[in-house]
Amino acid sequence: MRKGEGGPAMIEPGDEAELAEAVAAARGPLRIRGGGTRPLGSPVAGEVLSTARLAGITLYEPGALTLVARAGTPLAEVEAALAAEGQRLPFEPIDHRGLLGTSGAPTIGGVVAANASGPRRIAVGAARDFLIGVRFVDGEGRVVKNGGRVMKNVTGYDLVKLMAGSWGTLGVLSEVSFKVLPAAAASATLTLRGLADAEAVRALAAALTSPFEVTGAAHDPGAAGGPATLIRIEGFESSVAYRADRLARRLAPFGPAEVERDPAANAAIWAAVRDVRALHGLPGDVWRFSVKPGEGPALAARLGARRLLYDWGGGLVWALAAPGEDLRARMGAIGGHGTLVRAGPESRGRIPAFHPEPPALAALAAGLRRKFDPRGILNPGLMDEVAPAGSVPA
């Protein structure tokens, strides 16, 4: 195991056994670090535990649509291996670097810890839906496995889902397994121009309720050249052509659709939506709300945001807001949740990053943390949880 020398203290286990040893031996809080590109959540004080050396794809069977990799494997390495076989991670994980101003290489474990998904989430599911197995080390240094490498598995409780999106607070991931899917041979983006937000979300609903398997449904009210409503179709070449044509006809009441068929142009359009490029480099706090799609515009109208971007048919609302305000207070009766994704110094640590839960659910979550991390040493406080009794002070 490598310990940081000279620089800030950092623990870098070289394998799962060393990882277990390091957690068991910890005498204080640990900040779990994958690629370090997604510094969401409230600040954590503690020694850095890096998964960087737990790297490498351990199994890839294209004919079984299955990939297994150690948690510290760079995402780019996973994506390259899949691309070489014409496959992909279907949930299109967001790259947070541009939005958060971070550098470094995202890891596959970080994707899982953040349950990072993108535009295709509306059609096929989130990272957690394609995660089929995990290995992790809990807060007492025990190695636990759950799920496996097969895509249908109901053997015992599904801790796989519980680990996805738990931001390292229940355990440190050492290995993750995915169901992957074939990459599409062709794609098309239909763009409608000039629609007001509510009208745009109605257009997206018309697309998403069609049988044409829409895999992206976004709206950028502040696009250069006026509001742009974006709809993506993917599949075999002739199928995409057919569906684009049918969909354009279905959407005719909302105006004429421009159709983009160039693969590189389509990749760029959806990478920009995925990574929320509209908000890059602009000052202010960045909020991410998940609501019932039809309520996206009503929510947005209440937020008073400087800049907005809708994804997931209107159900995912990205908002750039003046620093220091807890925008959740503006949700009113609209159900769903909001996350403070990028916070300036006025907000970070003062406004909870994660949406506060009703007491009964918060109690269940706190109970799970006490069981998985009784000493409260794994990213303590990152998800704004109440520190368990007897936890190690920072």
Partner 1 sequence: MDMPAPDAGVIARKDRIVARLRSVLPPDAVIDDPAETRAYECDALTAYRCPPLAVVLPASTVEVAAVLRICHEERVPVVPRGSGTSLAGGALPTADSVILGVARLNAVLETDCANRFIRVQAGRTNLSVTGAVEAEGFFYAPDPSSQLACAIAGNIAMNSGGAHCLKYGVTTNNLLGVTMVLMDGTVVEIGGPHLDAPGLDLLGVICGSEGQLGVVTEACLRILPRPEGARPVLIAFGSNEVAGACVSDIIRAGVLPVAIEFMDRPCIRACEDFARAGYPDCEALLIIEVEGSPPEIDEQLGLIRQIAARHEPLEMREAKDEDEARRIWLGRKSAFGAMGQINDYMCLDGTIPVSQLPHVLRRIGEMSREFGLEVANVFHAGDGNMHPLILFDANRPGDLEKCEAFGAEILKLCVEVGGCLTGEHGVGIEKRDLMGVQFDPADLEAQMRVKDVFDPAWLLNPAKVFPLAATAARRRAA
Residue 357 as a binder of partner 1 (CB under 8 A): the answer is yes
Whole-angstrom Cα distance, residue 159 to residue 146?
Answer: 6
Report 369-388 residues binding partner 1 (CB under 8 A): 370-372, 383, 385
- Segment interacting with partner 1 (CB under 8 A) among 31-39, 60-68, 69-77, 300-308: 60-68
Nearer Cβ to partner 1, position 97 or 250?
A: 250
- Which tokens in the block code for residue 39? 């510094």
Shortest distance (Å) from residue 127 CB to partner 1: 10
Residue selected from 305, 312, 327, 347 as contacting partner 1 according to rule CB under 8 A: 312
Residue selected from 6, 7, 8, 63 as contacting partner 1 according to rule CB under 8 A: 63
Residue 56 as a binder of partner 1 (CB under 8 A): the answer is no
Residue selected from 48, 81, 151, 248 as contacting partner 1 according to rule CB under 8 A: 151
Report 192-211 residues binding partner 1 (CB under 8 A): 202, 205, 208-211
Whole-angstrom Cα distance, residue 3 to residue 11?
Answer: 5
Nearer Cβ to partner 1, position 284 or 315?
A: 315
Whole-angstrom Cα distance, residue 62 to residue 180?
Answer: 8
Residue selected from 166, 187, 189, 379 as contacting partner 1 according to rule CB under 8 A: 166
Residue 245 as a binder of partner 1 (CB under 8 A): the answer is no
Nearer Cβ to partner 1, position 50 or 177?
A: 177
Residue 64 as a binder of partner 1 (CB under 8 A): the answer is yes
Residue 333 as a binder of partner 1 (CB under 8 A): the answer is no
- Which tokens in the block code for residue 336? 């769903």
Residue 263 as a binder of partner 1 (CB under 8 A): the answer is no
Q: Long-range CB contacts (< 8 A, 24+ apart) of 110-113?
A: 110/34, 110/35, 110/37, 110/38, 110/75, 111/75, 112/71, 112/163, 112/164, 112/173, 112/176, 113/32, 113/34, 113/163, 113/164, 113/165, 113/166, 113/167, 113/168, 113/173
Residue 66 as a binder of partner 1 (CB under 8 A): the answer is yes
Residue 183 as a binder of partner 1 (CB under 8 A): the answer is yes
Residue 326 as a binder of partner 1 (CB under 8 A): the answer is no
Residue selected from 48, 81, 105, 185 as contacting partner 1 according to rule CB under 8 A: 185
Nearer Cβ to partner 1, position 103 or 155?
A: 155
Report 222-241 residues binding partner 1 (CB under 8 A): 235-236, 238-239
Shortest distance (Å) from residue 152 CB to partner 1: 4
